Structure 1
Amino acid sequence: MQSTAFSPQEYLDTLPEDRKQALSALREVLLDNLPAGFSEEMSYGMIGYVVPHSLYPAGYHCDPKLPLPFLSIASQKNFIAVYHMGLYANPELLAWFTDEYPKHSKTKLDMGKSCIRFKKPNQIPLALLGELAAKMTPQQWIELYEAVLKK
């Protein structure tokens, strides 16, 4: 469900109350924990956290006019999603996350390559996602992105 909202707050304002509360709490945790340098904006119809052109002028290789995406959150039809590109690109980070997840949640991890799905808005492990958000700086993400892109 791609949103046409122009701002993260407008995006949140369009959601049902349970989703709005969950995504607002998730957004707050991410803003509190993401290292300096990431920017929050609407990205691909979701709330996105990106490396701005001021830090990475080359932009996203798929469309260089766009800043380099890193993490996004969204209310999808049947779940709340967290898309973390670092999990897709860094096997060590993925291993850490999958090992830590059961310590923070009673639910089974529902995950794709970079997408973590939460079917129950009140069962999002906010502390774990805050830790995950803090694990990579924009510069580390740029270096990893470029290394993976060159392969």
Structure 2
Amino acid sequence: MNFSDYLAQLPEEKAQALEKLAELLRQQLPTGFTERFDGRMLHFEVPLSRYPQGYHAQPGQPLPFISLAAQKSHLALYHFGLYADEELLNWWTAAYAAGSKYKLNMGKSCIRWKKAGHIPWPLVEELAQKMTPQAWISIYESKN
């Protein structure tokens, strides 16, 4: 299954929002991240050609950075940089509170939105631009 097939199986509102999130990331992420769909999630990651050590939890796999998925009750954006970089997390939570009329629903790296209309698009765009692959590698290595 490819990403288009996945979207076709979703309710229209979720499919449109997920495609819009994917396109935003394609346009706004710094150069060097690659895109991969695994049948459940769309991943933006640091490829093995750039970081041969890969992801410690899954040897031989690229280093994950951002993933998108439509869960049963919400849309999810998993941003591993938010989990690993306290300064980025602090920026995100403050900017979200100031720039969204909806309460932030977030786990360690997972941002959840019940409805597509709750996504603060300009803020997500800004978040996507904040970390290069090299910066992510440096933070990742400092944590592992």
| Coarse TM-score class (shorter-chain normalised) | over 0.9
Question: Deviations along 1:24-64, whole A, 9 cap, x unmatched?
Answer: 11111111110000001124720110000110011111112
Q: What's the TM-score, normalizing by structure 2?
A: 0.95
CA distance in 2, matches of 1:147, 1:9: 36
Which one of 65, 74, 78 corresponds to residue 79 of structure 1? 74
Output the amino acid matched with 1:101: Y
CA distance in 1, matches of 2:78, 2:62: 16
Paired residues, number:
144
Structure 1: stretches of 5+ with no match in the other structure = none
Which one of 136, 140, 143 corresponds to residue 145 of structure 1? 140
Partner of 1:51: 46
Q: What's the TM-score, normalizing by structure 1?
A: 0.91
Partner of 2:37: 42
CA distance in 2, matches of 1:115, 1:72: 9
Residues 66/58 of structure 1: CA separation in 2 closer, same or farther (3 Å cut): same
CA distance in 2, matches of 1:31, 1:144: 22
Q: Where does 1:1-151 land on structure 2 (aligned, <5 Å)?
A: 5=1, 7-43=2-38, 45-149=40-144
CA distance in 2, matches of 1:91, 1:56: 23
Is the 2:6–2:39 contact (alpha carbons within 8 Å) kept by the matching residues of 1? Answer: no
CA distance in 1, matches of 2:136, 2:85: 10
Output the amino acid matched with 2:102: T
Structure 2: stretches of 5+ with no match in the other structure = none
